[in-house]
């Protein structure tokens, strides 16, 4: 049996603080539309999407590190992520 290993880096607070404060748009996941394909998790350049739940197939955005680039919303094949302007 072949075991698939995907290296994943985790974001950490840097000298400039949490990168989430740079954000002007915020991704919101509609969990009803999400089909758990993990494309957003794979493509997020910040490692700001976490996999949670027992099977690790539910995705959650870590807003401490999400910069609001919108890649996750663009890549989601099911249009389950919407970018909304920050308050």
22 makes contact with ligand SF4 (CB under 6 A): no
Helix (H, G, I), strand (E, B) or coil at 66: coil
Choose which of 37, 50, 60, 82 interacts with ligand SF4 (CB under 6 A).
Answer: 37
Choose which of 34, 50, 60, 82 interacts with ligand SF4 (CB under 6 A).
Answer: 34
d(CA 66, CA 11): 10
Q: Which of residues 40-59 bind ligand SF4 (CB under 6 A)?
A: 40, 44, 46, 48-49, 59
SS3 content of the chain, % helix, strand, coil (to 5): 15, 25, 60
Asked if 67 and 21 count as a contact pair (C-beta separation under 8 A), the reply is no
Choose which of 5, 8, 54, 71 interacts with ligand SF4 (CB under 6 A).
Answer: 71
18 makes contact with ligand SF4 (CB under 6 A): no
Give the DSSP H or E segment for 28.
strand 25-29
Asked if 65 and 78 count as a contact pair (C-beta separation under 8 A), the reply is no
Where do contacts with ligand SF4 occur on this chain (CB under 6 A)? Answer: 27, 29, 34-40, 44, 46, 48-49, 59, 61, 66-72, 76, 78, 80-81
């Amino acid at each position: 049996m072949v075991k698939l290993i995907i290296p994943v880096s985790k974001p950490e607070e840097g000298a400039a603080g949490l990168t989430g404060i740079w954000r002007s748009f915020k991704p919101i996941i509609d969990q009803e539309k999400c089909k758990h394909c993990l494309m957003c998790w794979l493509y997020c350049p910040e490692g700001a999407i976490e996999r949670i739940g027992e099977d690790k197939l539910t995705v959650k955005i870590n807003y401490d590190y999400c910069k609001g680039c919108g890649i996750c919303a663009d890549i989601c094949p099911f249009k389950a992520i919407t970018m909304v302007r920050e308050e």
